[in-house]
């Protein structure tokens, strides 16, 4: 879990740097802003660890101050508010909406997970002109009381001025508070569900790969086709929910579209 503890230090340094710079230049809120809105439709596991697929949808939201044009964005990026954005480095606040997980055949006997969210910070940079690395650290609200850290690297190449291909590795870590909500099985649940009792710790959550083909329909509008594969690891893979009723290999395919609005404050 050392990597989870290290991310807040990087995020804090970046955000403090942004605050100091804005203090010298005047009110941070004044200037040109952008708001990106969109939606994603996908076929994905019914829940993490499930061996059944389900069609679902999710929003795309990104807000920030206008600066140099972003070199790359990914559908994996969660709701973001950039406080630092100079083209080479971007950092700020991030959040994620979590939907409830209700009991069905695979989850019979387990307590439902309430709807909620995660809030935290992100940091991204470009080691080269064709590669972006991004890290997010988020803390659960209502749905769970743990931390989740997502790290991804994406190489990208413009096949034409309007078509881009991209892809790269992903890795996720989580604390025991997250794993207990989504993968833990207490004594009462074990009796009711028939699953073996399981009390997870924290650690590596998953590793995987993802890729996308993105089309710039117009200057402010984009659409994409994407695919993701992840393999559950550590406390997630060891859960009786995954071992006895689910599977470690998780696949997702889908499409997304988004539109960017520019405005001034």
Largest Cα–Cα separation, the chain: 62
Mean pLDDT check: name the lowest of 1-10, 35-44, 251-260: 1-10
pLDDT beyond 90 at 202:
yes
Query: In angstroms, rounded to a whole number, what is the distance separating the alpha carbons of residues 217 and 258?
Result: 10
Span 152-167, average pLDDT: 96
Q: What is the arithmetic mean of pLDDT over 28-42?
A: 83
For the chain, the straight-line distance linking the first and the last C-alpha, in angstroms and rounded, comes to: 41
What is the reported pLDDT for 69?
Answer: 61
Q: What is the pLDDT confidence band of residue 264, given thresholds at 50, 70 and 90?
A: confident
Comparing 104 with 154, which gets the higher pLDDT? 154
Residue 45 near residue 54, CB atoms below 8 Å:
yes
Give the per-residue pLDDT at 6: 46
pLDDT value, residue 108: 87
Of 32-36, 132-136, 211-215, 247-251, least confident by mean pLDDT is 32-36
Query: Would you say the C-alpha torsion 251, 37, 13, 140 has a positive or negative sign?
Result: negative
For 185, counting Cβ atoms within 10 Å of its Cβ (0-12 exposed, 13-18 middle, 19+ buried), the class is: buried
Residue of 62 and 224 predicted with greater confidence: 224
Length of the chain, in residues: 265
117: left (phi over 0), alpha (psi -120 to 50) or beta: beta
- Tell me the percentage of the chain whose pLDDT exceeds 90: 62
- Per-residue pLDDT at 22 exceeds 50: no
Neighbours of 162 (CB within 10 A): 12
Rounded CA-CA distance 242/247 in Å is 5
Looking at residue 33, its pLDDT comes to: 82
Answer yes or no: are the C-beta atoms of 91 and 123 closer than 8 Å. Answer: yes
Rounded distance between C-alpha atoms, residue 120 and residue 118, angstroms: 7
Residue 5 pLDDT? 47
In degrees, rounded to 5, the angle at the alpha carbon of residue 125 between the alpha carbons of residues 124 and 127 is 145
**The tokens of 30 are what?**
């004044």
Question: Sign of torsion, CA 110 114 115 121?
Answer: negative
Domain positions in the chain: 2-264
What span, in angstroms and rounded, lies between the C-alpha atoms of 96 and 138? 8
CB 61 within 8 A of CB 79: yes
Structure pTM? 0.82
Would you give the DSSP letter of residue 185?
Answer: B
CB atoms within 10 A of CB 6: 13
Q: What angle do CA 89, 230, 226 make, to 5 degrees?
A: 65
Residue of 73, 1, 43 whose CA lies nearest to 250: 43
Strand segments, DSSP code E, in 175-248 are: 203-216, 221-232
26: pLDDT strictly greater than 90: no
Specify the fold of 2-264. Outer membrane phospholipase (ompla); Chain C (2.40.230)
Least confident of 68-77, 138-147, 212-221: 68-77
């Amino acid at each position: 879990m050392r990597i989870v503890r290290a991310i807040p230090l990087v995020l804090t340094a970046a955000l403090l740097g942004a605050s100091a710079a804005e203090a010298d230049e005047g009110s941070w809120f004044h200037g040109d802003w952008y708001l990106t809105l969109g939606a994603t439709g996908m076929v994905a596991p019914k829940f993490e660890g499930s061996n059944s697929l389900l069609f679902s949808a999710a929003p795309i939201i990104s807000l920030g101050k206008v600066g140099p044009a972003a070199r790359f964005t990914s559908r994996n990026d969660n709701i973001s508010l950039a406080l630092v954005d100079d083209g080479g480095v971007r950092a700020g606040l991030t959040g994620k909406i979590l939907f409830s997980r209700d009991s069905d055949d695979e989850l019979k006997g387990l307590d439902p997970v309430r709807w909620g969210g995660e809030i935290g910070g992100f940091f991204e940079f470009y080691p080269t002109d064709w590669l972006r690395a991004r890290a997010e650290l988020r803390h659960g609200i209502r749905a769970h009381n743990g931390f989740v850290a997502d790290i991804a690297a994406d190489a990208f190449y413009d096949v034409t001025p309007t078509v881009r291909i991209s892809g790269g590795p992903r890795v996720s870590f989580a604390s025991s508070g997250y794993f207990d909500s989504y993968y833990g099985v207490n004594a009462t649940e074990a009796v009711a569900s028939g699953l073996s009792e399981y009390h997870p710790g924290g650690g590596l959550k998953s590793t995987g790969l993802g890729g996308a083909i993105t089309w710039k329909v117009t200057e402010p509008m984009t659409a994409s086709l994407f695919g993701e594969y992840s393999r559950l690891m550590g406390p997630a893979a060891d859960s009786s929910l995954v071992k006895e009723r689910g599977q470690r290999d998780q696949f997702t395919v889908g499409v997304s579209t988004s539109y960017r609005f520019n405005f001034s404050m």
